[in-house]
Structure 1
């Protein structure tokens, strides 16, 4: 499967005491999750345009509800970023999403993080459940808010 065309950025970073809140949105829940993962990786470097696409990686997660599924997915992304090959994604797409089972598989296209190549953003230490929110219909969009410990 080839990398999809670059999608418009539909995420932002909101200040939060000693942490940061990732806010992502999309027309559907899977699209909002894709944007959330892009936001997560984008926070680790000052310029995502410098991330090349050397390989893709599939990341799977599940949970007892959507919130726990998102938490598990971001924990997996954090683990892959912090361990060899130190994966950082430029683009993300949903490969499979099962709403009934709260399971998801994403594919990220990117490369291994290199502190000499990728200007340092802020290191994420942990994903939290604190104030996690999913809003299904705000002006026709799905919005997801997740606080990460930095």
Structure 2
């Protein structure tokens, strides 16, 4: 199986962790930051793609859209099936109406199979940055751990 290119990193932050993700466009940067969040909760190499979950998010500006998108991803992990996504695919990204539709690809989190990483308690707006310029499509998000 060909592995997807990783386009994210973790940066130290005084009480939390900052996710920094980038891509060839803003859609890919948003997808990568969601994968980064799941990767902070477990080792993604142990996750197989066995199921999918569709999600939707909307905001009133780009920052609130990113916040709501990641919050919805976190909710899916914390909900009944505890889905951990190895791949996130945005199927619709409306930058003017601030709406996203996406499909999460992964499987139910299982401590017997997936090493427990750090619990993500919440997404924050603190120091959130979004860049969508020629040659620069990246996001910075601090998550509460």
Please indicate the TM-score interval, normalised by the length of the shorter structure.
Answer: over 0.9
Where does residue 51 of structure 1 map in the other structure?
Answer: 47
What RMSD in Å do the two structures reach over aligned CA positions?
Answer: 1.2
2:9 — aligned with what? Answer: 12
Count matched residues: 144
Ranges in structure 1 where 5+ consecutive residues have no aligned partner: none
Q: Within 2, Cα distance between the matches of 1:54 and 1:136?
A: 33
Which residue number corresponds to residue 25 of structure 1? 22
After the TM superposition, which segments of 4 or more aligned residues of structure 1 sit over 4 Å from their partners? Answer: none
Query: How far 1:6 sits from its partner (Å)?
Result: 4.3
Whole-Å Cα distance in 2 between the matches of residues 43 and 102 of structure 1?
A: 26
Contact kept? 1:86, 1:112, Cα under 8 Å: yes
- What is the TM-score when the length of structure 1 is the normalising length? 0.92
3-state SS, counterpart of residue 141 of structure 2: strand
Structure 2, unpaired ranges of 5+ = none
Q: Which residue pairs with 2:129 in the alignment? A: 133
Is 1:73 matched up with 2:90?
A: no
